[in-house]
C-alpha cells in the first residue's frame, strides 16, 4: 500500500494490514531525520504515539473509527490549537496558547486525526516564501537552498517531505496554492466560506480561507470534507451542503479512454504571457494537452481585469490587516512590554513584537483607509474586485474550469526576493484574483523545470465555480491518476519511501 493513500488508510487499519502506531512512528522518525534540514515545524507534539496507540486500541476493540483515524496532520501555526502554541509565525504571539481549537481542527480531531505539530509560516500569512517567519526559515524539500513558498510553506514542505500525511494551511492570496506548486504537493483552496474561519488568526477577513495540503487529490478532498461546513461561530461560513468529495473518485483501472469527455477547459491567456517562466508555460501547455487527451476541449480565454487584481489585492488585504492586527496591543494577547503608561505599552509591544513586513502592510492599509485616500485606494480596489469577480463569472459561464500556472516560476533561492518585496508580490499574480472572486482552486503538480541543482516541481491551478470543489477534485483526481512518468516525491525522502 502506498504510504500516502489516505483514502485507503482506514481500510488498512480495519483489515489489520498496518498499525496506526507503526505509521506514526515511521512519520516521526522521518520527521526527526529531515527536520534539521527543512525546519517546517515550529512545534512538534510529544503525544503523537500515545494518540496512535489509542486508535489501535479502538481497532482492537472494534470501536467506530472516524474517516481520518490515525491520519497525521500538520497544522499551520495561524490556526488555533488549544493544546499547542499558536504564534502565527509572530513574536507578538510567542508562547500564546489559545484556550480553544479552531473549528477546522476540532472537526479533524473528531474524525480521528492526530495533530503532529504546528507548521512554520510567514508572519500572520504575510509573505510568499516563509522567510517572513519570526522564528526560522523553512527549506524546500526538493532543494534545500530554495524557499518552499508561502505563506503556508511549513505545511507544504511537511507534506512534501512526508513528515505528515496531510496538513492545513490558509490562503489569503495564494498561500496554499503557491507553496503546493513549489513543493510538488496538492493544495486545495476551498470556496470562501466553505470552511469556518473560527480559530484562524485573521489576516484579511474577506479573503482568508483555510485550505488543505495532501500528497494526492484524494487526500486533499477527504480532508476538506472533514473540515467544511457551516459554523455558528463564523457568520461568513456557508450553510451549503458539503458533498462527500471522495465518493465519486474513479480508480485508474476503471477509467475509460476519454474520462473527461465534454469538459470545457479555459486556459487563462494572461497567465501564460510575458513575465512567466518559459519552462512553466511549457509545463502548463503540456498539462493542457494531457487534459485534451482525456477528452477535454481546451481553449484560451482572456480575463481583461487579470492584471488589476494584484494591486487591488494588496490594498484590500493590507487595509483589512491594519484593522485585524490592531488587536495585538500587548494587552489582549501574547507579549507585553513593561511601560510607564498605556500608549507606550501599546506602541512598544507592537514595535518589538511585529516584524517589518507586517509593519509595512499595516502602514499601507492604514494609509489606504485614511479619509481623503479611501476613495482613491480602498473604494477603487473594491470596484476592481467587482470587475474581477464578473470577468471570472463570464469565463466560467463559457467553461467548466479555468487553468493557469499556480506561480510564474518554480521555487526560487532563499534570500533571492527578500529585499525586493515588489518582485515577491508579483509572484502572487496567478493566485490573488481567485481570492478576490472567492472561488475554489486546486493546485496539483503537473511537471518539472530544470534547475542547476535538479528538477523542481511545477503546479497547475484549476479554478472552478463557487462551491464546486467536487468538480475540481474529480478532474484533478483523473489528471493525477493518468499523468505518466512523474513521481512527486522529493529525492530527500524518495529512497526511504521506495523500500
Q: According to the binding rule CB under 8 A, does residue 103 interact with other proteins?
A: no
Q: According to the binding rule CB under 8 A, does residue 236 interact with other proteins?
A: yes
Q: Return the range that interacts with other proteins (CB under 8 A); candidates 51-59, 175-183, 204-212, 423-431.
A: 204-212
Quick one: which of 136, 206, 451, 482 contacts other proteins (CB under 8 A)?
Answer: 206
Q: According to the binding rule CB under 8 A, does residue 378 interact with other proteins?
A: yes
Q: According to the binding rule CB under 8 A, does residue 322 interact with other proteins?
A: yes
Give me the 350-369 binding string for other proteins, x by CB under 8 A, dash otherwise: ----------------x--x
Give me the 60-89 binding string for other proteins, x by CB under 8 A, dash otherwise: ------------------------------
Q: According to the binding rule CB under 8 A, does residue 323 interact with other proteins?
A: yes
> Within a 10 A sphere around the Cβ of 289, how many other Cβ atoms?
12
Q: Are 188 and 219 in contact (CB under 8 A)?
A: no
Q: According to the binding rule CB under 8 A, does residue 202 interact with other proteins?
A: yes
**Active site (catalytic) residues:** 76, 151, 175
Pick 233 or 302: Cβ nearer other proteins? 233
Residue 457, helix vs strand vs coil: strand
Q: According to the binding rule CB under 8 A, does residue 282 interact with other proteins?
A: no
Quick one: which of 320, 357, 469, 480 contacts other proteins (CB under 8 A)?
Answer: 320
Sequence-ordered list of residues with C-beta below 8 angstroms from that of 450, at least 6 positions apart, any chain: 279, 456
Q: According to the binding rule CB under 8 A, does residue 344 interact with other proteins?
A: no
Selection from 142, 103, 135 nearest residue 120 by Cα = 135
Q: According to the binding rule CB under 8 A, does residue 386 interact with other proteins?
A: no
Q: According to the binding rule CB under 8 A, does residue 325 interact with other proteins?
A: no
337: left (phi over 0), alpha (psi -120 to 50) or beta: beta
88: left (phi over 0), alpha (psi -120 to 50) or beta: left
Pick 90 or 237: Cβ nearer other proteins? 237
Residue with cell 491594519: 322
Q: Return the range that interacts with other proteins (CB under 8 A); candidates 108-116, 256-264, 268-276, 371-379.
A: 371-379
How far lies 95's CA from each of 36, 59, 64, 180, in Å?
21, 36, 36, 28
Q: According to the binding rule CB under 8 A, does residue 381 interact with other proteins?
A: no
Q: According to the binding rule CB under 8 A, does residue 233 interact with other proteins?
A: no
What angle do helix axes 491-498 and 20-38 make, rounded to 10 degrees? 160
With CB under 8 A, what is the number of residues at the site for other proteins? 20
- 403 DSSP β-pair partners: 267, 462
Pick 160 or 319: Cβ nearer other proteins? 319
Q: Are 216 and 480 in contact (CB under 8 A)?
A: yes
How far lies 201's CA from each of 35, 87, 183, 194, 414, in Å?
25, 9, 24, 17, 26
Pick 100 or 374: Cβ nearer other proteins? 374
How far lies 243's CA from each of 240, 467, 474, in Å?
9, 10, 12
Give the binding site for other proteins (CB under 8 A).
Answer: 202, 204-206, 235-236, 319-320, 322-323, 331-332, 342, 366, 369-372, 374, 378
Amino acid at each position: 500500500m502506498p504510504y500516502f493513500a489516505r483514502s485507503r488508510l482506514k481500510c488498512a487499519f480495519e483489515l489489520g494490514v498496518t498499525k496506526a502506531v507503526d505509521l506514526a512512528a515511521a512519520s516521526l522518525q522521518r520527521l526527526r531525520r529531515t527536520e534539521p534540514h527543512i525546519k517546517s515545524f515550529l512545534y512538534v507534539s510529544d503525544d503523537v504515539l500515545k494518540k496512535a496507540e489509542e486508535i489501535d486500541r479502538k481497532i482492537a476493540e472494534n470501536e467506530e473509527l472516524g474517516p481520518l483515524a490515525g491520519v497525521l496532520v500538520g497544522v499551520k501555526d495561524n490556526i488555533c490549537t488549544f493544546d499547542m502554541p499558536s504564534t502565527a509565525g509572530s513574536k507578538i504571539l510567542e508562547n500564546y496558547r489559545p484556550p480553544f481549537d479552531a473549528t477546522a481542527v476540532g472537526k479533524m480531531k473528531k474524525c480521528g486525526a492526530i495533530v503532529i505539530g504546528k507548521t512554520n509560516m510567514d508572519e500572520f500569512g504575510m509573505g510568499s516564501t516563509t522567510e517572513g517567519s519570526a522564528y526560522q526559515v523553512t527549506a524546500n524539500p526538493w532543494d534545500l537552498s530554495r524557499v518552499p513558498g508561502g505563506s503556508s510553506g511549513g505545511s507544504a514542505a511537511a507534506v512534501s517531505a512526508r513528515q505528515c500525511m496531510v496538513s492545513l494551511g490558509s490562503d489569503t492570496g495564494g498561500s496554499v496554492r503557491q507553496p503546493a506548486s513549489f513543493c510538488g504537493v496538492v493544495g486545495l483552496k476551498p470556496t470562501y466560506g466553505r470552511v469556518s474561519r473560527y480559530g484562524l488568526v485573521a489576516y484579511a477577513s474577506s479573503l482568508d480561507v483555510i485550505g488543505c495540503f495532501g500528497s494526492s487529490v484524494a487526500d486533499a478532498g477527504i480532508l476538506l470534507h472533514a473540515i467544511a461546513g457551516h459554523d455558528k461561530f463564523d457568520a461568513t461560513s456557508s450553510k451549503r451542503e458539503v458533498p462527500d468529495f471522495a465518493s465519486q473518485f474513479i480508480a485508474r483501472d476503471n477509467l475509460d479512454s476519454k474520462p473527461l469527455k465534454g469538459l470545457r477547459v479555459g486556459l487563462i491567456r494572461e497567465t501564460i504571457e510575458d513575465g512567466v517562466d518559459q519552462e512553466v508555460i511549457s509545463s502548463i501547455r503540456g498539462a493542457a494537452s494531457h487534459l485534451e487527451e482525456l477528452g477535454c476541449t481546451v481553449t484560451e480565454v482572456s480575463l481583461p481585469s487579470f492584471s488589476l487584481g494584484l494591486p487591488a489585492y494588496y490594498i484590500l488585504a493590507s487595509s483589512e490587516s491594519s484593522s485585524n492586527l490592531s488587536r495585538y496591543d500587548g494587552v489582549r494577547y501574547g507579549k507585553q512590554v513593561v511601560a510607564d503608561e498605556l500608549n507606550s505599552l501599546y506602541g512598544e509591544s507592537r514595535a518589538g513584537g511585529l516584524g517589518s513586513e507586517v509593519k509595512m502592510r499595516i502602514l499601507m492599509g492604514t494609509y489606504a483607509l485614511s479619509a481623503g485616500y479611501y476613495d482613491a485606494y480602498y473604494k477603487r480596489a473594491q470596484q476592481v474586485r467587482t470587475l474581477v469577480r464578473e470577468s471570472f463569472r463570464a469565463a466560467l459561464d463559457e467553461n467548466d474550469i479555468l487553468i493557469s500556472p499556480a506561480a510564474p516560476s518554480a521555487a526560487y533561492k532563499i534570500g533571492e526576493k527578500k529585499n525586493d518585496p515588489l518582485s515577491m508580490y508579483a509572484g502572487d499574480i496567478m493566485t490573488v484574483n481567485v481570492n478576490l472572486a472567492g472561488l475554489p482552486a486546486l493546485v496539483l503538480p503537473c511537471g518539472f523545470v530544470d534547475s542547476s541543482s535538479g528538477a523542481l516541481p511545477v503546479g497547475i491551478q484549476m479554478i472552478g465555480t463557487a462551491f464546486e470543489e467536487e468538480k475540481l477534485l474529480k478532474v484533478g483526481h483523473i489528471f493525477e491518476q493518468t499523468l505518466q512518468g512523474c513521481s512527486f516525491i522529493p529525492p530527500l525522502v524518495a529512497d526511504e519511501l521506495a523500500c
